[in-house]
Amino acid sequence: MSVFTAYFCGTGSHRFDDTNPNFWNGELVSTLASNDQGREFAHWIAVDGPGSGNLQDDDLFVEPGGYFNWTGQLFGRGWEENVNHVLQVIKGESSWQRTELSEEEYERLKAAGVPIPDASSTASWFWRTYNYGERHPTPQELQERIISMFRKPRLPTQVNLVGWSRGGISCHMLANAMAQDPVLRDIPVNIFAIDPVPGVGNVQTERVTLAGNVKEYVGFYSRDERSKGFACVIPAVERNTRLCVYPMPGRHATLVGNASLSGVGIGRLLVEPGLIVRHFAEVCLARWGVSLDKCLGLSEPQLLEYHEAIAARDGQYLDMRGQSYTYITEGDKQDRLVHEGEQQTRFSQVCGEGYDPSAGLSVQRSDVDAYKALR
């Protein structure tokens, strides 16, 4: 069996956010990728989110678009290249190779903190070439060799996708692209999505529905997010897909490790939602055949303790509903707007009878019984 996992970071986020101080214990998706014990490219890959700085352009298996950060943050520009890049990595074959890197591009990557060799170093030939010196092999050639050596069989027998924000929507896009690909369409897919948000004007079929190749979909959603343009997606799925939807108190970034009262910036007061989501991401990935380091391994008493802490601070989570990343709110105080497939509705309509959007999660769910389906 050959398992491959793709980790899609959210808008403006990248694979080095496991050390970002805005996330008290590391941003979830980049942290999971850094803890994956497989071999990068052969068994897993981390993908920078749209608007995060084009830091991976040198390594893409498809020709990069080189978008401005603001177009990625506002419109998601670049996520098609991200999806096609992972599609080619799954196949183990690049459709484009970086044969030179300008000094300007090199300095941009270096200034962003990407760990790359110095341009004058004799070690720099190992993974990229520069237009001020003919050196080989290209990054793509090296990565193809890694895949060929360490992924057996070369074509995965299962693909797992993890994503936050537009990274969650990228999971939808990739799963659908695989379903349309004659080489990859029979590979089963599992998805763990955290508050998948497409943004305004991006509610197309390939982003809000899933084909039958998706065997299991687990989604955690921010109960208290009200930012304009942040309506999340609960995808329409085929009958054979196992779908689990979990609302969680907090804002869009709370669920991936931002523990501040506002859901923005540095803070360590509201850590429990991020810990719960991380735990179940690790539980699902382990069940899906991924070996991870530094797992939380929470017990049911610990989960119950975290839910009780969330319930005790429920007023602070409810206060988040008046804040917005875009300075304008949408929905209302009682309920969040969501896309259920291509139809816009409200969370209470999706979750059904028993869901109280004004109450703490431990009141809505019977302790931790709701999570038993994930184990």
Whether 247 and 359 map to the same domain: the answer is yes
Q: Which pLDDT does position 68 carry in this prediction? A: 52
Q: How confident is the model at residue 74 (pLDDT cuts 50, 70, 90)?
A: low
Question: Does residue 100 form part of some domain?
Answer: no
Whether 117 and 213 map to the same domain: the answer is no
Q: Report pLDDT digits (tens) over 29-69.
A: 999 999 999 999 999 999 998 866 667 777 887 777 665 56
Mean pLDDT, the chain, as a whole number?
Answer: 85
Residue 187: what are its φ and ψ, rounded to 5°? -80, 125
Question: Does residue 311 form part of some domain?
Answer: yes
pLDDT exceeds cutoff 90 at 138 = no
Number of separate domains in the chain: 2
Look up the domain containing 328 and give its range.
Answer: 3-48+156-374
In 237-371, where does DSSP find H-type helix? Answer: 272-287, 300-312, 314-319, 347-351, 361-364
pLDDT exceeds cutoff 80 at 106 = no
Q: Which pLDDT does position 191 carry in this prediction? A: 98
Amino acid occupying residue 223: R
Residue for token pair 């209470």: 348
Q: Which pLDDT does position 198 carry in this prediction? A: 94
Q: Which pLDDT does position 102 carry in this prediction? A: 56
Q: How confident is the model at residue 339 (pLDDT cuts 50, 70, 90)?
A: very high
Q: Which pLDDT does position 201 carry in this prediction? A: 87
User: What gap in Å lies between CA 64 and CA 360, rounded to an integer?
Assistant: 44
Give the containing element (helix H, strand E) for 140: helix 139-150
Whether 189 and 324 map to the same domain: the answer is yes
Whether 364 and 284 map to the same domain: the answer is yes
**What integer is the mean pLDDT of 303-317?**
94
Q: Report pLDDT digits (tens) over 360-370.
A: 443 334 446 77
Whether 221 and 127 map to the same domain: the answer is no
What strand order describes the sheet that includes 337-340? 232-234, 337-340, 343-346
pLDDT exceeds cutoff 50 at 282 = yes
Q: Which pLDDT does position 170 carry in this prediction? A: 96
Whether 244 and 277 map to the same domain: the answer is yes
**What integer is the mean pLDDT of 114-124?**
50
Q: How confident is the model at residue 280 (pLDDT cuts 50, 70, 90)?
A: very high
Comparison of pLDDT for 374 and 101, the residue scoring more: 374
**What integer is the mean pLDDT of 166-171?**
96
Question: Does residue 266 form part of some domain?
Answer: yes
User: What gap in Å lies between CA 159 and CA 146, rounded to an integer?
Assistant: 18
Comparison of pLDDT for 52 and 240, the residue scoring more: 240
Whether 168 and 207 map to the same domain: the answer is yes
Q: Which pLDDT does position 374 carry in this prediction? A: 84
Question: Does residue 147 form part of some domain?
Answer: no
pLDDT exceeds cutoff 90 at 12 = no
- Give the domain CATH number at 243: 3.40.50
Question: Does residue 261 form part of some domain?
Answer: yes
Whether 180 and 257 map to the same domain: the answer is yes
Question: Does residue 315 form part of some domain?
Answer: yes
**What integer is the mean pLDDT of 140-159?**
94
Which candidate, 292, 291, 255, places its Cα nearest to that of 270? 255
Whether 41 and 185 map to the same domain: the answer is yes
Question: Does residue 258 form part of some domain?
Answer: yes
Whether 123 and 250 map to the same domain: the answer is no
Question: Does residue 77 form part of some domain?
Answer: no
Whether 119 and 177 map to the same domain: the answer is no
Whether 128 and 208 map to the same domain: the answer is no
